[in-house]
Chains A and B, each alone.
Chain A
Amino acid sequence: MTELTMVQAINQALAYEMTADNSVVLLGEDIGRNGGVFRVTDGLLDRFGPTRVLDTPLAESMIAGTAIGMAIQGLKPIAEFQFMGFIYPGFSQIISHASRMRNRTRGRLTCPIVYRAPYGGGIHAPEMHCESTEALFAHIPGLRVVIPSSPAKAYGLLLAAIRCPDPVVFLEPKRIYRMHKQAVPDTGEALALDRCYSLREGSDVTLISWGAMLHETQLAANELSKHGIEADVIDVATVKPLDIVTILNSVEKTGRCVIVHEAARHCGVGAEIAAQIAEYGLLSLLAPIQRVTGFDTIMPYFKLEKNYLPSVKRIIQSVNHVMEYA
């Protein structure tokens, strides 16, 4: 079987669902003839035509808001923001309307929408193209925030997001868009939302991460294994709502926990995970919870971005620290 990159896996998921369901339409900037700046929608215009692959004028609030009207009138729009850094003009639409339409009409009108955006650093992109602000969305009631970590996860989670009757913010870690290839059978099978996935089993420490950072996290786990430290690695996958049960089960087993994310530390999703572990699992902890994160600085332009992003070494350093507690 041909192996796919994450970009190709997302394309395959979009094509699968567009074939299966005429109400699925794509809208965004440059997604038509150009196939999107990352080529995620490559070829879809030719396959599905210009009424289903809609190049929009350049206005992100409009993209976010138009998707809401489409969804209310029975379509299943998948809106692409070119980069997460440009999603903010649409933020008001997402938090003031998409997230609350079902609630404020008591179920009369709903917003089955997927808001897709490439996110995260590490690709030498221009300024403001690299932030990880998933926590802004994770804070909002009524939203789901989903972040895949591999081609297969991207395929399965995106199908689930499209079929979800509520709005999903689907953040694609662009640093690993083409990093790995993986067999992704085009079965149309969705993966479950709202749950964490185990990527590696170990009994000494729990490593929790999502998206591109799982790459460094897994490298760190392999390195630690050489030194006799076996890590449980958890892919959070849906950062809102949060499957804390899977995390607590792991922490109960290991007693130690390191959370890894690219985003700035203060009020990052890691803070919520740490708070919930403290609230519900404190007595199983053998060491303080650690976070390896971006810094509470402006995400630097690419010359310094490697210094900002958590590294394998920083993760190992943190694990070694929690292992010092007997």
Chain B
Amino acid sequence: METLTHQSSLTTETVASFHIHHLRFLDAEGQLTQPLPPFADPHTLLKLYEWMVLVRTFDTKAVNLQRTGQLGTFPSSLGQEALTVGMGYALLPTDVYGTCYRDQGVLIQRNVKMSEILAYWGGDERGNCYAHNKTDLPTSIPVASHLHHATGMAYALQYRNEHRAVLTLVGDGGTSQGDFYEAINLAGVWKLPIVFVINNNQWAISVSRHRQTRAHTLAQKAIAAGFEGIQVDGNDVIAVHETVACALDRARNGQGPTLIEALTFRLCDHTTADDANRYIPKEEMDAAWENEPIKRLRTYLHEQGYWDKEKEHALIKQCREQIDVAVQEYSNTPKQTLSELFDYLYAELPEPLHDQKEAMITQPPVEGA
């Protein structure tokens, strides 16, 4: 206070103060830091573990497909499996999800087919036409812009008095966008049924978290919007799930929005078009690997006797088979028709565009198409 006024003897009163809590159950060594929450029975923990392994195996496959020319630019989610799996597992089918682009672990649990994810990153918009999910947003490219769609959807749920909530994800870089502040502000003012999660993976392409903001935590940004923010260990799937599930419950019950900052680390390039070696120091990357989410849960499950090498091998084999089927499906997807470019532009193609559609379809053969 003294530094904010010219006189140190002034009398002032505290009109606002805040605390940001950090939650963790499982540390990097796979040891519990406190008793498990009620949801975390062995069956559920194994289920979460299986999802995480599937997501990582899929991720590895997708990167390989890109490296061998079978996929376009792909944003790996390596190292962030606990976050997206914990989030996805907390959603009810009636909830709605607003995706960004580094959250395949949520999408897969939302019945988005792996072949659809591959189709999208393979350059085909049909990958956004989820066959088994009629509500969730498509992959959103302009960073943080989808947060407004999430709040708009949340308003519709609130308007109809439905016992449903919206969950959405943004990166640490996304919190610098005006859209982030505008969206959380509206969510606060309208007390919307929404949960915002920040995947603070420390790097927005090449700009580190501390170059995005001087704020001590990202969770505290919720305070400015008038609701609670909490920080969790995003590499601890138990902490992620507990926090997200609780926040979703509150949202469904009319208790308004929550902001969750999950601390993770991007153990990969930003996308396959990036090279993180240019800017992430090797020591930092090595240290982050010690902290990664799958190993700690495996260690815990091992030590509790729920898991062994045989089960691990069987799981990986099963994941690979499942992914191979998805890759086959992706490879065998029939080509789009040229007509589609016009067919979904409007509900009904306006008359003035009919000639252009005809010209598109009947154009001379295009080399390489």
Chain A positions near chain B (C-beta within 8 angstroms): 25, 51, 56-57, 59, 61-62, 64-75, 77, 89, 92-93, 96-97, 101-110, 141-142, 144, 164-166, 194, 241-245
Contacts and interface: CB of A to CB of B under 8 A. Distances in A.
Nearest to A64: B148
B352 A243 contact: yes
B254 interface: no
Contacts of B135: 73
A110 B125 contact: no
B149 A107 contact: no
Most buried by B among A59, A75, A106, A144: A106
B152 A73 contact: yes
30 contacts: A62-B179, A62-B186, A65-B145, A65-B147, A66-B149, A66-B152, A67-B152, A69-B150, A69-B153, A69-B155, A72-B149, A73-B135, A73-B152, A93-B148, A96-B142, A96-B145, A97-B140, A97-B149, A101-B138, A102-B344, A102-B345, A105-B128, A105-B129, A106-B128, A106-B129, A106-B340, A108-B134, A141-B345, A166-B347, A245-B351
B199 interface: no
A106 B179 contact: no
Interface string B165-190: 00000000000001100110110010
Contact of B148 (A66, A244, A245): A66
A62 B156 contact: no
A65 B138 contact: no
Contact of B182 (A25, A61, A77, A96): A61
Most buried by A among B125, B129, B156, B346: B346
B229 to A, nearest CB: 19
Given A69-B152, A72-B137, A109-B138, A104 B145 contact: no
B159 interface: yes
Given A75-B159, A104-B125, A57 B182 contact: yes
Contacts of A245: 351
Contacts of A71: 152
B262 to A, nearest CB: 23
A61 B148 contact: yes
Contact of B346 (A59, A108, A142): A142
A69 B148 contact: yes
Given A69-B152, A105-B128, A108-B134, 19 more contacts: A51-B159, A56-B186, A57-B182, A57-B185, A61-B148, A61-B178, A62-B148, A65-B151, A67-B152, A70-B152, A96-B142, A97-B145, A105-B129, A105-B138, A106-B125, A106-B126, A109-B137, A166-B347, A243-B352
